[in-house]
Amino acid sequence: MGAQQKKLLYLVHRIPYPPNKGDKIRSFNILKFLARYYQVYLGTFIDDGHDWRYLKDLEIYCQDFYAAPLKPLQSKLRSLPALLGGGPMSIPYYRDAGLQSWISAQKEQHDFDSVLVFSSAMAQYVMGSEWEPQHRVIDFVDVDSDKWLQYAATKAWPMNWIYRREAATLLTFDKQVADEFEASLFVSAKEAELFASMPGIEAGKVSHADNGVDIDYFNPDSDYPNPYGEAEQAVVFTGAMDYWANADAVSWFVEAVLPEVRKAHAAVHFYIVGARPTRQVQALDSLSGVTVTGAVKEIRPYLAHAALAVAPMRIARGVQNKVLEAMAMAKAVVVTPQGFDGIKAQVNNEVMVAESAQAFALAVAELLDEPDTAERLGQVARKHIEQTYTWDNSLQALLPMLEGQA
């Protein structure tokens, strides 16, 4: 921690450590970056009992922090009254008296220079006129209300109604936050443009900071043990497997894409690598040519030794870190338009994009047929990540916002 005297309150809806899933990768790298410029005071939630062990790891980045337990059943019960009212259910879901008391006490003691909120549900703690002296910035990450609409389109009544309602009420709340805060941040230019185009939004206060990749950690030239069978052509998907969009993606790939690929490539084996697989995902492990690993100590060996990586997302918002990490590991990646959304890369040169099951299967098969092409694609992808997606470059946009200079 440097000697910087400016103080910043950082509120995150999920403990930003370990950086092992999409939102935690971004929130952790923001924390790591800001600790170079500010004394950081972190308020957060822990929704996974295993994560309590990581509090010590936050000490080198934070002047002080408070972690509140997030218990899903209690949080859902707390959200129910909102269903009968006019607000989004996700706001009371993240309401905690202990965290509120800690924030109030820290504000009184330190009079923060700036506030950064990660995820709109945490904005409730710093709303109102008493927070106006601070430079408040909200990292919405993506347009979450639109994701709820995507969920609604896949569900039957009554869940489709609940999801559509959440989309509408959350958007109303997000607009209130954007109006009150000095700046609104998103994970990509496309997300920022979508939000800025909405009625009632002051477009000049909306910006973006791309995600990044730790290119030293995701180094394709390091020596990794091979986790695959000797005769296998391994195709890999990485991600948190309790996330509905990831479960949907791998299920669609196994059901609609993999059988077509295996007609010409009998040695193809699909590896689903990620913690907490749902029952739906676990069931895929019984199918021929599919392995569900569950949590692994390292995902890098699975990327390093794969023939290629896939991201067959059908529902997505923001930027898929799994795509950037595979590219950083010099892997050819085949991705749907939804999974590619927000990523700055050249199609067919740095990444392959395919939408239908037939087109996706054809792209995978072609790369398996031509390993030299797959290797070239991966090498170009790695260079693109080095030039475009480092965290230091991406997060420089944050500093003028927090200083009120944006």
* Least confident segment among 63-67, 82-86, 133-137, 292-296: 82-86
- Note the pLDDT of residue 34: 96
Q: Is residue 1 pLDDT above 50, yes or no?
A: no
- Note the pLDDT of residue 261: 98
Q: Is 224 a member of any domain?
A: no
- Note the pLDDT of residue 154: 85
* Least confident segment among 188-192, 279-283, 288-292, 402-406: 402-406
Residue 168 and residue 237 share a domain: no
Residue 145 and residue 51 share a domain: yes
What is the mean pLDDT of the segment spanning 110-126?
Answer: 97
Residue 181 and residue 247 share a domain: no
Residue 246 and residue 115 share a domain: no
Q: Is 191 a member of any domain?
A: yes
Residue 384 and residue 324 share a domain: yes
Could you tell me which residues come within 8 angstroms of residue 241 by beta carbon, excluding any fewer than 6 positions away?
A: 247, 250, 272, 274, 275, 276, 277, 278, 281, 292, 294
What is the mean pLDDT of the segment spanning 40-61?
Answer: 96
Q: Residue 86 — φ and ψ, nearest 5°?
A: -115, 10
Between CA 265 and CA 235 the distance in angstroms is 11
Closest CA to 36 of 404, 396, 321: 396
Q: Is residue 4 pLDDT above 70, yes or no?
A: no
Residue 138 and residue 68 share a domain: yes
Helix (H) or strand (E) holding 46: strand 39-46
Residue 147 and residue 64 share a domain: yes
Residue 239 and residue 201 share a domain: no
* Least confident segment among 75-89, 113-127, 272-286: 75-89
What is the mean pLDDT of the segment spanning 18-29?
Answer: 92
Residue 122 and residue 40 share a domain: yes
Burial of 357 (0-12, 13-18, 19+ CB in 10 A): middle
Q: How confident is the model at residue 195 (pLDDT cuts 50, 70, 90)?
A: very high
Q: Is 220 a member of any domain?
A: no
Residue 247 and residue 366 share a domain: yes
| CATH number reported for the structural domain that contains residue 125 in this entry | 3.40.50.2000
Q: Is 176 a member of any domain?
A: yes
Q: What is the pLDDT of residues 87-112, one digit of tens each?
A: 999 999 999 999 999 999 999 999 99
Q: Residue 207 — φ and ψ, nearest 5°?
A: -145, -170
Domain of residue 129 covers 7-212+391-402
Q: Is 222 a member of any domain?
A: no
Q: What is the pLDDT of residues 209-263, one digit of tens each?
A: 999 999 999 999 999 999 999 999 999 999 999 999 999 999 999 999 999 999 9
Residue 365 and residue 315 share a domain: yes
Q: How many domains does the chain have?
A: 2
Q: Is 225 a member of any domain?
A: no
Between CA 406 and CA 401 the distance in angstroms is 5
- Note the pLDDT of residue 59: 95
Q: Is residue 2 pLDDT above 60, yes or no?
A: no
Mean pLDDT of the chain: 95
Q: Rg of the chain over CA atoms, in angstroms?
A: 22
Residue 279 and residue 350 share a domain: yes
Q: How confident is the model at residue 406 (pLDDT cuts 50, 70, 90)?
A: low
Q: What is the pLDDT of residues 351-372, one digit of tens each?
A: 999 999 999 999 999 999 999 9
**8 A C-beta contact, residue 57 and residue 139:** no
- Note the pLDDT of residue 404: 83
- In the sheet where 183-186 sits, what is the strand order? 64-69, 39-46, 7-12, 114-118, 135-141, 183-186, 206-208
